[in-house]
């Protein structure tokens, strides 16, 4: 295991890259019979497979999951082995955004993979296996970046947004959840985030939330930082659902936020999908904010709502004019209360071992 000691680094010398910066690998977990997807396994695998195929056209994909339960279905999916590889790791579920490693860069350009504790959004579900995935990968030498153990602090990747220049966008409801880091005050959590990821400009929203959300208002369901001091947010257009008041208050709060040099943010509104319900009549947290962005593509969750889907795609084309927008039907994912960003975690160039010129090296393909 290649470990790192970042304790001597000052907050000014550490940064969490923006998601739209270049990365060369995306981590996902493959659904299997021992996950909550068991009752709709074919649908879940078809959706994850669509995401894997789309991402692997541009970069490598690392799939984790127990090989005995995943190997055959992964082979049947017909992925290009030069771009996609399966790593035999025990998993509870598929939410890689929240159990996956968070990679920071130091002042010399060195990369450090931070492994925070994942407790399934405040002890809501089982997470014993998912919390150890990064440790397994590190012990096997899968990270070229240095591994840093932060398992004493609960943090999910879906709860934080970075502009790559020290700005954090997050929600107080999530970070102050008593079942995450209830022994720490807000000031102590702020200090931890500044120390570990260089967040010296922190924006904490006090409003916003989607009906059916299990995450206590993850920021990646509500609002996303974009280039040029822009924030893309979900609008309060849900006249039939349960979220209109909360989102309206969030928008008011966003208008009050300021950049580090005191200017208001450019605010761009995404539509809210028409309400989607499960078989028991519970509203599901469908959102267009839950997209994955790379340096040249946006992978956009859509929900078979032609007008709203198109509006979301056109909005993102305005904000990212040089990107290819790739819509992917994620109706299967929202049935377990997540979407596309939730099942993916990007890793920057140089963070993962075994990738050469954008492809998995031959020595690792058949492990």
Nearest to residue 334, comparing CAs of 215, 228, 192?
A: 215
What average pLDDT does the chain have? 94
- pLDDT tens figures, 270-327: 999 999 999 999 999 999 999 999 999 999 999 999 999 999 999 999 999 999 999 9
Contact 30, 48 (CB under 8 A): yes
How many whole angstroms separate alpha carbon 357 and alpha carbon 367? 20
Q: For tokens 């209830």, what's the residue? A: 182
Q: Which residues contact 74 (CB under 8 A, 6 or more apart)?
A: 30, 63, 65, 84, 86
In a 10 Å sphere around its CB, with 0-12 CB exposed, 13-18 middle and 19+ buried, how is residue 151 labelled? Answer: middle
- pTM (two decimals): 0.96
All residues at 6 or more sequence positions from 130 whose CB lies less than 8 Å from its CB, including other chains: 29, 91, 92, 93, 95, 99, 118, 120
pLDDT tens for each residue of 192-243: 999 999 999 999 999 999 999 999 999 999 999 999 999 999 998 755 556 7
Q: What's the length of the chain?
A: 367
- Yes or no: say if 144 and 352 are a contact pair by the CB < 8 Å rule: yes
Of 8-12, 60-64, 360-364, where does the model show the most confidence? 60-64
Q: Scanning the structure block, which residue is given the tokens 């509203």?
A: 283
Using an 8 Å Cβ cutoff, are 143 and 137 in contact? Answer: yes
Element (H, E) at 76: helix 67-77
User: Given the DSSP bridges, would you call strands 266-270 and 14-15 parallel, antiparallel or unpaired?
Assistant: unpaired
Predicted local confidence at residue 236, as pLDDT = 82
Specify the pLDDT at position 8. Answer: 57
**Dist. CA 61–CA 278, nearest whole Å:** 30
The tokens for 14 are 């550490």
Beta bridge partners of 290: none
Q: How many CA atoms lie within 13 A of 25 on its CB side?
A: 29
Q: pLDDT band for position 165 (50/70/90)? A: very high
Q: Is 202 exposed, middle or buried (0-12, 13-18, 19+ CB in 10 A)?
A: middle
pLDDT at 363: 45
Cβ burial, residue 136 (10 Å; 0-12/13-18/19+):
middle
pLDDT, tens only, 47-106: 999 999 999 999 999 999 999 999 999 999 999 999 999 999 999 999 999 999 999 999
């Amino acid at each position: 295991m290649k470990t790192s000691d970042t304790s001597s680094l000052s907050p000014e010398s550490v940064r969490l890259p923006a998601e739209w910066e270049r990365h060369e690998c995306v981590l996902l977990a493959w659904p299997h019979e021992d996950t909550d997807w068991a009752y709709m396994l074919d649908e879940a695998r078809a959706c994850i497979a669509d995401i894997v195929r789309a991402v692997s056209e541009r970069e490598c994909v690392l799939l984790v999951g127990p090989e005995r339960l995943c190997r055959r279905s992964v082979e049947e999916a017909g992925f290009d082995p030069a771009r996609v590889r399966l790593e035999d790791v025990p998993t509870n579920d598929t939410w890689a955004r929240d159990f996956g490693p968070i990679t920071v860069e130091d002042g010399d350009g060195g990369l450090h993979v931070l492994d925070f504790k994942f407790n399934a959004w405040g002890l809501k579900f089982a997470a014993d296996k998912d919390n150890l995935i990064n440790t397994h990968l590190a012990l096997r030498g899968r990270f070229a970046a240095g591994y840093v153990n932060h398992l004493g602090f609960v943090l999910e990747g879906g709860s934080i947004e970075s502009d790559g220049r020290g700005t954090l966008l997050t929600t107080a409801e999530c970070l102050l959840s008593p079942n995450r880091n209830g022994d720490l005050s807000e000031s102590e959590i702020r200090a931890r985030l500044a120390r570990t990821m260089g967040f010296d400009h922190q924006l904490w929203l006090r409003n916003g939330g989607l009906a059916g959300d299990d995450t206590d208002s993850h920021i990646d369901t509500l609002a996303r930082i974009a280039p040029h001091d822009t924030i893309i947010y979900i609008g309060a257009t849900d006249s039939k659902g349960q979220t209109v008041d909360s989102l309206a208050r969030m928008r008011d709060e966003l208008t009050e936020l300021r950049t580090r040099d005191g200017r208001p943010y450019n605010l761009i509104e995404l539509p809210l999908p028409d309400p989607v319900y499960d078989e028991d009549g519970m509203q599901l947290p469908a959102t267009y904010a839950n997209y994955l962005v790379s340096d040249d593509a946006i992978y956009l969750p859509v929900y078979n709502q032609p007008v709203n889907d198109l509006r979301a795609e056109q909005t993102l084309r305005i904000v990212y004019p040089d990107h290819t927008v790739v819509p992917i039907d994620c109706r299967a994912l929202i049935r377990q209360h997540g979407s596309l960003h939730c099942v993916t975690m990007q890793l920057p160039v140089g963070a993962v071992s075994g990738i050469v010129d954008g492809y998995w090296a031959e020595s690792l393909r058949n492990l």
